[in-house]
Amino acid sequence: MPTPFGLLPDGTPTQLFVLQNAAGFRAEITDYGGAVVRLFAPDRTGRLADVVLGCPDAAAYATHGSFFGCLVGRVGNRIAHGRFTLDGRTYDLARNNTPNGVPCHLHGGVRGFDRCVWAAEPFVSAAGPALRLRHRSPAGDEGYPGNLDVTVVYTVTADSALQIDYTAVADAPTPVNLTNHSFFNLAGEGRGTILDHEAVFRASRYTPVDAGLIPTGELAPVAGTPLDFQTPQRIGARLDAPHEQLRLAGGYDHNFVIDRGPAPLALAASVSEPSSGRTLDVLTTEPGIQFYTGNFLAGTIVGKTGAAYPWRSGFCLETQHFPDSPNQPAFPSVILRPGRTLTSTTVYRFGTR
């Protein structure tokens, strides 16, 4: 049964749902923004710890813009100048982000999917305990065309993974790029930085960005750059390297192009943490994954256990289509048209070594 997760500033009540497998792996998810509030995974000794950053209640989530654990939409990541043209018509969106002084549209706008209370229904699926979340984004919402109906299913599987299945339909052509924005720290929430985590990505290319953190349109090789994670690398090893891309983003905040094989669900990234032995594999049907190293965390947000979240205290692996895709015809399309159904799956699978 769900438990109360507090009131939003306008008095709207929210709830928290718990999904757990037989091994004790547990996800706690709120209907506010569909946020993963807690995610308990065992270390190499079997000790459970919460490995995601988050807030103590819904009111705290509503007061900041860090997107901890939330569902992102309609379009995740950035859209240049908050504008795109579709079928000959130009649409203006909220410009709610200004990296390096350049305005853009970020993560669905001022009131994106992270700021909505979703209709929630817990159930038991063949794969494990699950939570179905539904949301309707009406025509004109944050400037987007058409009514969009989104369903997201979180499932905790027997092999200690959190699986996220997305579906969406629209009654008019509209861009859609859905993702989850969890911040991970495999040592445990509030337990230092992620600099000693080791990461490897199945990605030989990435999408370089300009001063506004908008892709230039190029698919550039990672080889010979600090963005090369084709072999395991400490996350902090090259963060201070004198490279233009790291300077512009203040660290890693880049979309990696997944080297996909024939399987629909591809391994995109693997991360491990040496002290706990925890590992995280990310598998997805998406073509890209955004790697973000908490560049804008500054110790001003106090998390759910009372610990402040300093710089580099969490990392994100957001599975996605590429940023600014509505303005980049060479990128895989994010346009959803009537009569089509968007489907996407991402699995965050935990283990130890």
In the set 181, 197, 254, 321, the catalytic residue is 181
Catalytic-labelled residue, pool 28, 142, 286, 318: 318
Does residue 81 carry a catalytic annotation? no
> Yes or no: is domain 3-352 CATH 3.30.1490.100?
no
Q: How far apart are CA 285 and CA 185, in angstroms?
A: 24
Alpha carbon 225 to its chain centroid, in Å, reads 24
Show me where the domains of the chain are located: 3-352
Give burial (CB, 10 Å; 0-12/13-18/19+) of 337: middle
What string of pLDDT tens digits covers the 353 residues of the chain? 899 999 999 999 999 999 999 999 999 999 999 999 999 999 999 999 999 999 999 999 999 878 999 999 999 999 999 999 999 999 999 999 999 999 999 999 999 999 999 999 999 999 999 999 999 999 999 999 999 999 999 999 999 999 999 999 999 999 999 999 999 999 999 999 999 999 999 999 999 999 999 999 999 999 999 999 999 999 999 999 999 999 999 999 999 999 999 999 999 999 999 999 999 999 999 999 999 999 989 889 999 999 999 999 999 999 999 999 999 999 999 999 999 999 999 999 999 99
Residue 262: how many CA atoms within 13 Å on its side-chain side? 0
Catalytic annotation present for 181: yes
Entry pTM: 0.97
Which single residue is written with the structure tokens 């008019």?
172
